[in-house]
Structure 1
Amino acid sequence: MQNPVTTALASNFAELPATASHGPLRIEYRWVNEAAGNAPIAVFLHEGLGSIAMWRDWPLALCERLGMRGLVYSRPGYGLSTPRAHHVKWPVDFMTAQARDILPALFDALDINMQERKRMWIIGHSDGGSITLLYAALHPDELAGAVAIAPHVFVEDISVESIAQTKQLYETTDLRSKLSRYHADVDSAFYGWNDIWLNPSFREWRIVGELAAIKQPLLAVQGNDDNYGTMAQIDTIGERVPHAQLVKLDACGHSPHRDAPDALNEAIAAFISRQG
């Protein structure tokens, strides 16, 4: 079987200039379903240990269902994008920085103009779901809408406990070897995510207050068997964003695009269709 990271070498790379919040970055990205031509763009934001390769073929399948073009990319520290230097720790507000600085810079580098951004949908999973919410809150005049899948809006005990267990598995089983197929620097990817989530300072992280600024159509999805968060996450979204639609999937864990792809795709397609 071909190594997914090797396969991802066919990806393109965008060069982002240094700013006050980060140095120069090389971002791995790929377009999917380009045959859709001038159709709206769906942007996919991966989970805390994700990358282009870890999405597999789900973004393409969903874009074909929606009739959209898809933009998939690996955030800094993941996949083939610029690795996190091993001595660097992600700050508590690292997801805000992604929404405020990195994602707009990527759109600029790819010449995605404001007209295209206003037609765009952002679809994020887990940490990517939180970044999706933050982007929608920070850019209320952009986007056609957003889909947050298993997002975090505050830190729960279940999240910290599961992430601590994942660290033990990474250091004592073949999990590190398995993840190395998806990241050029697997330790950079893993510990960047794991260290910040297990940092005692991160227990106070929350983006509940930012949610009220979201004006665009919003779909929030979570599995009933999610071991990284309870339904309190999307229920809180529903309280703070009254126009949001919530979907709770049975027999589904933290990764609906893997655990229940048909149900997830149907929920997203139906929601976007209702927005016209």
Structure 2
Amino acid sequence: MSVVPLLIESDEDLPFQDHFLRIRRLRHPAPAADDRPTLVFLHDSLGSIRLWRNFPARLAEALGCHALVYDRRGYGESAAFGPAPRTVRYLEEEALTVPAVLRAAGVGHCVLFGHSDGGTLALLTAANEPALVAAVVTVGAHVFVEDVTLAGIREAQHQFATTDLPQRLARYHGPRTEPLFRAWTDTWLHPTFRTWNVEHYLPRVQCPVLAVQGEADEYGTAAQVQAIVEQVSGPAQVALLLGLGHTPHRQNPEEVLRLATNFLREML
């Protein structure tokens, strides 16, 4: 599935509440795209628009849909974090803003495609706003904390202190790099976060869900995707990808594109 250069791509700063968010719009020229849900991509705890690479465009082209990709506050080229410190409920709090961001960007009915933190946000948003979300695709989402997750974050801390990881992240986040990295690690490794759990939201997810995870995910086990598909109310599928880690859409984009396209094509 190669990208035909038909999509119209534009980046802009979207005024939102008391700050701005960098967004990327991908518009498909086919008239039918106006009648289909918009694909919305929600990035991970260290992610950004640019770290998605061309994956959103490829999926939008394959499905004949418009797409929206955005940097959450504190990430990429969006405004820096606000003065309030991150709480252990930051994902539940962020999920409450997703519908408002979509309204500000002129997006109505949508499909949410989320990676890691973004996958959790997609599920929480679908639970909170069932009329808004036509379907959800998660990649490496978390609905509770596992020991392997915390071990992976401690290893990321070590790499941040001993390798060129800060410089590599700074290509995407600039001066926001250290604050966002600390916000992620300090929150997840705080003792009170060990009991964080959002499984009680899952029965409120009524739309179809595809839960994708790498079998060798360094931040979670298959218990995450099993919990998702067993507890959501709508139809759900698991795709556990052998030999892949926490970023299968970058490690094997062809396979994730195939899975997502086949899953979503049935409902668009």
Q: Which residue does the alignment assign to 1:110?
A: 105
- What amino acid does structure 2 have at the position aligned with 1:56? R
Q: Which residue does the alignment assign to 1:92?
A: 88
Aligned residues: percent identity?
Answer: 37
| Residues 86-235 of structure 1 aligned to structure 2 (within 5 Å) | 88-100=84-96, 102-112=97-107, 116-117=108-109, 120-184=110-174, 185-235=176-226
Residues 3-60 of structure 1: per-residue CA shift (max 9 Å, x gap): xxxxxxx73111112xxxxxx1211101124434514310000010000111111111
- Contact 1:83–1:189 (CA<8 Å) still a contact in 2? no
How far is 1:274 from its partner?
Answer: 2.3
For normalisation by structure 2, the TM-score amounts to 0.90
Q: Which residue does the alignment assign to 1:30?
A: 24
How far is 1:238 from its partner?
Answer: 1.8
**Structure 1 stretches of 4+ moved >3 Å:** none
- Contact 1:225–1:250 (CA<8 Å) still a contact in 2? yes
Gaps of 5+ in 2: 1-9
How far is 1:88 from its partner?
Answer: 4.6
- Contact 2:112–2:133 (CA<8 Å) still a contact in 1? yes
Specify the SS of the correspondent of 1:50. coil
Q: Which residue does the alignment assign to 2:247?
A: 255
- Contact 1:96–1:134 (CA<8 Å) still a contact in 2? yes
How far is 1:148 from its partner?
Answer: 1.0
For normalisation by structure 1, the TM-score amounts to 0.88
| Residues 66-77 of structure 1 aligned to structure 2 (within 5 Å) | 66-77=63-74
Q: Which residue does the alignment assign to 1:47?
A: 44
- What amino acid does structure 2 have at the position aligned with 1:207? V
Q: Which residue does the alignment assign to 1:265?
A: 257
Residues 52-78 of structure 1: per-residue CA shift (max 9 Å, x gap): 111111111111111111100001110
- Contact 2:99–2:125 (CA<8 Å) still a contact in 1? no
CA distance in 2, matches of 1:248, 1:88: 37
Gaps of 5+ in 1: 1-9, 18-23
Residues 82-119 of structure 1: per-residue CA shift (max 9 Å, x gap): 1125x75311111111111x21221221233xxx32xx
Specify the SS of the correspondent of 2:59. helix
CA distance in 2, matches of 1:88, 1:176: 24
How far is 1:210 from its partner?
Answer: 0.6
- What amino acid does structure 2 have at the position aligned with 1:93? R
CA distance in 2, matches of 1:40, 1:210: 23
CA distance in 2, matches of 1:106, 1:60: 20
| Range with bigger deviation, 207-216 or 185-194 | 185-194
- Contact 1:16–1:25 (CA<8 Å) still a contact in 2? yes
CA distance in 2, matches of 1:121, 1:81: 22
Specify the SS of the correspondent of 1:90. coil
- What amino acid does structure 2 have at the position aligned with 1:14? L
